[in-house]
Structure 1
Amino acid sequence: MSSNTYFWITSLFGFLLSTYVAYTYMSYARSVKEYENLDLPQNADVSSRWLDLSRNFDDEVELSEKLMFLRSKREKLCREARGNVLEVSAGTGRNMELYPLDPLVTPEDKRVERLVFNDLSEIMLDQAQKKFETLQEKAKQNRRFPGPVQFVVGDASDKSLIKRPEGGFDTIIQTMGICSETNPVAFLKQLGELCRQPGEKSSGVDMKIIEKESQQHLEDLKKRRDHGASEPEQKRQQEEDTLVTEHGGDLGGKILLLEHGRSYLGFINRVLDNGAKMHADHYGCWWNKDIEQVVKDSGLIVERKKRYHFGTTYEYVLRPRPRPRSEDEIERRSENVDGGKNAVLDVSQGVKVKGWTGGWFSKN
């Protein structure tokens, strides 16, 4: 290729790119200006946007999710689901085919025993149910999900809506849902209540598996060093570690979040703030929420977090905060240690058991 030809090709490409960027910016600026006078306060309830039967929500978000590689992030979280599983803000079921539901290939310690899907929109949840039924119909009989499945319409923050199974939910998943919550802190707190609590016996996961994980976690706590952490952060971490240790290292169930919100870059936040009304009015979600602050205010323990796309995509693994044991209870437990250094008293059952995990496993 001659230098002259190369010059004209690159010039044409540059012209087309600059034209596209300019057009996109002008369209964005015009739309923002049109929405300036819209009476829509920040964090207002915009859930009515999901009730439009004429819209195909999957088609509207498909391209953006592909460009952001969100499917792989959804799959990563869904692969952590096990035991009694609840998905809130399930929408149209975009996670449906990502769960490890095939009983022939899923290891015992990663099996899902029960599924509950919830969403505020009956229209969306109906689509999710159809997706699930289609997936099961396509699967061979011996590879279909054998456990119970429920689809619950309503607000998951309503304490009477979702029935908590015995031992709580082992896994709760929400992807792109906090942005639509009018009171996201209270919502997360309710998820924490629905989750299996530290030291609580699970009805969906073999307790021997949980005991093994608890022992490993105690070992990890002994080795952990908070290099570079601020003094308040170290104090908070020490308090959490103490509570977890009191419960034998059992962290309880998991709350898995994949959310979008504010960036750690100021100029991106300005773009999000300027277009927040426009986005909320069309998609029914506020894309400029401070997800990090919401999680912090919920009081849940952060086991793992990552941020992508200049900080606008959040991935969290949360755990319910252990309830402090009373001094009398701790003293009673220590007085009954007579079966070896790892023996503790199961206060709820009144019988001695072996293990680190507060008395749910391996009864003598």
Structure 2
Amino acid sequence: MHATWLGRASFRTSKPLITSRGVQSRASRQRRSNPITPPQPRKQFNPDIQRFQERYDKKESAAAPHGIPIRVLTFMGITVLAISTYTGYLYSSYQQEVRKAQALDIPADVSDRYNSTASNFDAEVDLSEKAMGLGKKRADLIRLARGDVLEVSCGTGRNVKFYDLKERRGTDEQGRAAILGCRSVTFVDLSPQMVDIAKEKFNAANPEYTRVAFRAQDAAAVTVESPARAHTGKGHYDTIVQTMGLCSMPDPVGTLRHLGEITEPEHGRILLLEHGRSHYEWLNRILDNLAPLHADKHGCWWNRDIGAIVKESGLEVVEEKRWHFGTTWRYILRPKHSDQS
């Protein structure tokens, strides 16, 4: 009997465990959802690298408490140092130039400088005029010239290419009937060398144009001569042009008054493009400090108050515009006694 019980027990334990259909054990589900991956090799641990990284992190956190990388801070520091050094150099150079300028005794009349600078004048001013856009400002002003035209302080003829030499009837900017273009052009400058250069430019650009004259003459004493008088017999010009000339004249007020006297009284105009004092006093101080040195080298007093000169001349202001911190002035003037039209 005892043996029989043992046999039955052995038989029961040898039977496989049968589970219900559709039911899986938790372990079986985990094995199917998480397939077995091969073991990964263990990373090599280097204590020296870890200690270096810890020291580097401490330095960065100490040097850059706000999260700015130390490399960025280093670059910023070098940049600030370079800028401050360059600024100091500029200031030191400026102070040296001021001391040199204040030691000079320069007369009011510096127009004789243009005789020696005529050959290099265009090369010296080209870059600055392009940077300031003065070419377009010259063109816009000269476009207004009409009839018998006189240009004083013509220099090397930087306005030559902008003249409209085809006189014709048309309408002005207000839509009124007017004569457009130039009937004749006369170029005047105190420097014979500059007049020669202006003449070469004009003849090269307009070889067939004959109603033109060139004279080495003081603008304060210029007279109405041929070709204007030859064609009309009148004693005035319809348009008088001057660009960058008041800065070099010993008596700019007297010169403007004289130009007003030889301008056609009814519809004549005086066109000015000048440079002088600024809207800002800090810039005027710089111009004043360096004015003697600039006048001695370039024959130009760049710190003159163009507005005050125009007002004192007694001419009537038709239009006034300023650019470049107020240092570039454009005026359209006419004789004070002319009738309103």
Shift of 1:28: 2.8
For residues 247 and 85 of structure 2, the distance between their equivalents in structure 1, rounded to whole angstroms, comes to 32
Determine helix, strand or coil for the equivalent of 1:47. Answer: coil
Q: Quote the residue 1:307 is aligned against.
A: 322
CA shift for structure 1 position 31: 1.7
Offset from partner CA, 1:246-290 (integer Å, 9 cap, x none): xxxxxx201000001111211111001000101100110101111
SS of the aligned residue for 2:272 comes to: strand
Matched letter for residue 158 of structure 1: A
Find out whether 1:291 has 2:319 as its counterpart.
no
Matched, 1:255 2:270: yes
Whichever residue aligns with residue 181 of structure 1, its letter is M
Could you list the runs of 5+ residues in structure 2 that have no partner in the other structure? 1-68, 172-177
Question: Partner letter of residue 212 of structure 2?
Answer: V
Within a 5 Å distance, the mapping from 1:167-206 to structure 2 comes to 168-198=236-266
Amino acid in structure 1 at the alignment position of 2:96: R
What secondary structure does 1:89 align onto?
coil
What letter is aligned with 1:38?
Answer: L
Q: Would you say 1:127 and 2:127 are equivalent positions?
A: no
State the distance in 1 between where 2:92 and 2:157 align. 34
Match of 2:110 in 1: 46
* Maintained 8 Å contact 2:235/2:262: no
Q: Does 1:158 align with 2:226?
A: no
Give the alignment of 1:63-74 within 5 angstroms.
Answer: 63-74=127-138
User: Is the CA contact (8 Å cut-off) linking 1:113 and 1:147 kept in structure 2?
Assistant: no
Higher-Rg member (1/2): 2
Identity across the alignment (%): 45
Tell me if 1:113 matches 2:183: yes
Alignment of 1:203-222 (within 5 A): none
Match for residue 79 of structure 1? 143
1:6 is displaced (CA, Å) by: 8.8
Contact 1:88 1:174 survives alignment (8 Å): yes
With 254-263 and 106-115 compared, the bigger mean Cα shift is at: 106-115
> Which residue in the other structure is 2:15 paired with?
none
Q: Which runs of 4+ in 1 moved over 4 A?
A: 3-22, 159-164
TM-score when normalising by structure 2: 0.69
SS of the counterpart of 2:271?
strand
- Contact 1:176 1:259 (8 Å CA) reproduced: yes
Pick one of 334, 337, 341 that aligns with 1:319. 334
Contact 1:156/1:162 (<8 A) preserved: no
Letter aligned with residue 84 of structure 1: D
Q: Which residue of 2 aligns with 1:281?
A: 296
**Aligned-pair distance for 1:101?**
2.5
Q: CA deviation at 1:47?
A: 1.1
**Matches of 1:16 and 1:95, distance apart in 2:** 43
Q: Give the Cα–Cα distance (whole angstroms) in 1 for the partners of residues 125 and 71 of structure 2.
A: 39
Q: How many residues align structurally? A: 262
TM-score, scaled to structure 1: 0.65
Task: Specify the SS of the correspondent of 2:112.
Answer: helix
Letter of the structure 2 residue corresponding to residue 302 of structure 1: V
What is the letter of the counterpart of residue 133 of structure 2? F
Structure-1 separation of matches of 2:250 and 2:219: 12
Residue of 150, 154, 164 corresponding to 1:100: 164
Q: C-alpha separation between the residues in 1 aligned to 2:90 and 2:119? A: 23
* Shift of residue 15, structure 1, vs aligned partner: 6.5
- CA pair 172-29 structure 1, distance change in 2 beyond 3 A: same
Cα 1:103/1:32, change in 2 over 3 Å: same
Q: Distance in 2 between matches of 1:22 and 1:102?
A: 55
Q: What code does the residue aligned with 2:220 have? A: S
One-letter amino acid matched to 1:176: M
Q: Letter of the 2:214 partner, please give it.
A: F
- What RMSD, in angstroms, separates the aligned Cα atoms of the two structures? 3.1
CA distance in 2 between counterparts of 1:316 and 1:149 reads 25
